[in-house]
């Protein structure tokens, strides 16, 4: 590593950084101004919202600045990445104290007590070995310390959501431990560091209750709009960019089979199996985000008669795509596709056993049931499968029991 010997050295943009652009690593060098613009763009989403305490925001502003100075010194991307992880741990500690207003209820030797303090360190000075934290749901848990303990705590209290992201908490805390006790040299690229900054920002904003529009970890609810798909007689499957387009349809599509769905704008509505088909399976959940059939399948002439219903935005709604509830029926060797609670209510099957699973995607739930339906419940810690991004909420031997279980879960969610 060359140390700068003059102000000129110090002020010279780092060539290594200038090899990176919007499309990745390149043999050509970006002009320094463009390079700075690229760096700004790549951390565009890594911002903390006003709900986050000012101290945390100030620390994070410094990380963003460090990242941008990577234009002058490539090593600073690694510094920014490391620093961002430490700031997340600090934010978790602050949130812990603020969440309980500085009064932590614990169990010490069967007795309930309160630990008071205005900072995490102050409270932790007062704790004793064997103390148990009482979370808001009344459960007794080990006192969280360190990044992995605090991330788990944030999930117990429902501050962080999502099944897939819960599985990456471990990686996040392992990396943080590495930052605190580095062994060997590590060097990260601008895209690596930008990803960490964006991720950390999403975590911190979520700790203070704010989802990220278009986020990768804690996305804000997504708007669903009516969308039309046609399976043409020549085997093509076409998704219209707007409902209105159906009025002026290409003649080769006119005698196809039409369907209208309430779906998110990015949902894939066709599927390629042996042949093209609609991806939505009536009575089941198979799409990346919740999707409802509004009309069809049917011929175009029937649809155009009612098309104006779907041309306005009155049917639009918003859906949360994390922590969806699925019910999967297993009958002997047969495993049904996942059902939503309303699909479950609507079906009248009574045979088989029923698995109730929380997952971010129906496929995660299905894969878990396929691979682990025989796993002893004792191996599922708090329902968490060690191998799949799901939480198993219950296994029921009869439909009646399952109905009762799903009802209870609904009541808990509405609490």
Name the residues that contact Zn ion, by CB under 5 A.
Answer: 368, 372, 385, 387-388
CA of 242: how far to CAs of 151, 278, 415, in Å?
A: 42, 18, 38
What is the nearest approach in angstroms of Zn ion to the Cβ of residue 383? 11
Residue owning tokens 């920002």:
201
Q: Do residues 289 and 319 lie in contact, with contact meaning Cβ atoms separated by under 8 Å?
A: yes
**Helices 163-180 + 146-156 axis angle, to 10:** 160
User: Given the complex with Zn ion, which of 176 and 372 has the nearer CB atom?
Assistant: 372
What is the nearest approach in angstroms of Zn ion to the Cβ of residue 326? 13
What is the nearest approach in angstroms of Zn ion to the Cβ of residue 47? 36
Alpha-helical (H) ranges within 181-261 are: 190-207
What is the nearest approach in angstroms of Zn ion to the Cβ of residue 389? 9
Nearest Cα neighbor of 25 from 64, 83, 84, 74 is 74
**Helix, coil or strand: residue 242:** coil
Nearest Cα neighbor of 17 from 187, 190, 198 is 190
What is the nearest approach in angstroms of Zn ion to the Cβ of residue 374? 11
Backbone phi, psi, residue 365, to 5°: -65, -45
Q: How far apart are CA 141 and CA 134, in angstroms?
A: 6
For the chain, the helix, strand and coil percentages under 3-state DSSP, each to the nearest 5: 40, 20, 40
What is the nearest approach in angstroms of Zn ion to the Cβ of residue 386? 7
What is the nearest approach in angstroms of Zn ion to the Cβ of residue 228? 37
User: Given the complex with Zn ion, which of 116 and 370 has the nearer CB atom?
Assistant: 370
Q: How far apart are CA 107 and CA 64, in angstroms?
A: 41
Q: Which two tokens stand for residue 81?
A: 């990445």
User: Given the complex with Zn ion, which of 60 and 396 has the nearer CB atom?
Assistant: 396
What is the nearest approach in angstroms of Zn ion to the Cβ of residue 388? 3
**Helices 32-42 + 54-68 axis angle, to 10:** 150
CA of 78: how far to CAs of 41, 69, 303, 378, in Å?
A: 18, 11, 57, 41
User: Given the complex with Zn ion, which of 18 and 395 has the nearer CB atom?
Assistant: 395
User: Given the complex with Zn ion, which of 212 and 391 has the nearer CB atom?
Assistant: 391
CA of 103: how far to CAs of 119, 126, 135, 403, in Å?
A: 10, 12, 12, 39
What is the nearest approach in angstroms of Zn ion to the Cβ of residue 163? 11
User: Given the complex with Zn ion, which of 203 and 384 has the nearer CB atom?
Assistant: 384
User: Given the complex with Zn ion, which of 315 and 375 has the nearer CB atom?
Assistant: 375
For 138, residues 6+ apart whose C-beta sits below 8 A from its C-beta are none
Residue owning tokens 């209105």:
244
Q: Do residues 288 and 265 lie in contact, with contact meaning Cβ atoms separated by under 8 Å?
A: no
What is the nearest approach in angstroms of Zn ion to the Cβ of residue 381? 12
User: Given the complex with Zn ion, which of 105 and 168 has the nearer CB atom?
Assistant: 168
Q: Which two tokens stand for residue 119?
A: 């900072």
User: Given the complex with Zn ion, which of 64 and 358 has the nearer CB atom?
Assistant: 358
User: Given the complex with Zn ion, which of 237 and 385 has the nearer CB atom?
Assistant: 385
């Amino acid at each position: 590593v060359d140390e700068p010997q003059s102000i000129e050295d110090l002020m010279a943009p780092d060539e290594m950084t200038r090899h990176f652009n919007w499309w990745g690593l390149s043999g050509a060098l970006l002009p320094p101004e463009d390079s700075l613009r690229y760096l700004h763009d790549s951390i565009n989403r890594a911002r903390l919202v006003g709900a986050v305490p000012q101290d945390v925001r100030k620390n994070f502003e410094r990380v963003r600045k460090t990242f941008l100075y990577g234009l002058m010194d490539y090593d600073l991307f690694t510094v920014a990445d490391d620093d961002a992880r430490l700031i997340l741990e600090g934010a978790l500690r602050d949130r812990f104290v603020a969440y309980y207003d500085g009064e932590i209820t614990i169990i010490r030797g069967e007795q309930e007590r309160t630990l008071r303090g205005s900072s995490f360190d102050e409270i932790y000075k007062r704790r004793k070995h064997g103390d148990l934290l009482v979370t808001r749901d009344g459960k007794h848990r080990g006192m969280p310390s360190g990044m992995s303990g605090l991330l788990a705590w944030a999930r117990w209290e429902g501050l962080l959501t999502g099944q897939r992201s819960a599985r990456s908490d471990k990686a996040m805390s392992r990396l943080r431990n590495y930052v605190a006790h580095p062994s060997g040299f590590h060097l990260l690229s601008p895209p690596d560091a930008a990803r960490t900054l964006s991720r950390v920002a999403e975590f911190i904003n979520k700790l203070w209750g704010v989802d990220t529009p278009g986020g990768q970890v804690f996305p804000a609810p997504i708007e669903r709009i009516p969308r039309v798909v046609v399976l043409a007689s020549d085997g093509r499957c076409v998704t219209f960019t707007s409902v209105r387009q159906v009025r002026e349809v290409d003649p080769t599509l006119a005698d196809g089979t039409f369907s209208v769905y309430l779906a998110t704008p990015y949902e894939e509505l066709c599927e390629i199996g042996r042949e093209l088909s609609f991806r939505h399976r009536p009575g089941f959940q198979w799409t990346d985000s919740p999707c409802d059939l509004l009309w069809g399948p049917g011929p175009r002439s029937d649809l155009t008669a009612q098309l104006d219903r779907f041309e306005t935005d009155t049917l639009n709604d918003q859906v949360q795509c994390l922590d969806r509830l699925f019910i999967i029926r297993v009958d002997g060797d047969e495993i049904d596709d996942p059902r939503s609670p309303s699909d479950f209510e609507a079906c009248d099957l009574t045979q088989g056993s029923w698995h109730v699973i929380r997952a971010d995607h129906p496929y995660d739930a299905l894969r878990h049931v396929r691979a682990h339906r025989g796993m002893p419940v004792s191996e599922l810690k708090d329902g968490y499968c060690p191998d799949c991004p799901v939480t198993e909420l219950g296994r029921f031997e009869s439909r009646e029991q399952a109905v009762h279980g799903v009802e209870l879960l609904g009541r808990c969610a509405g609490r």
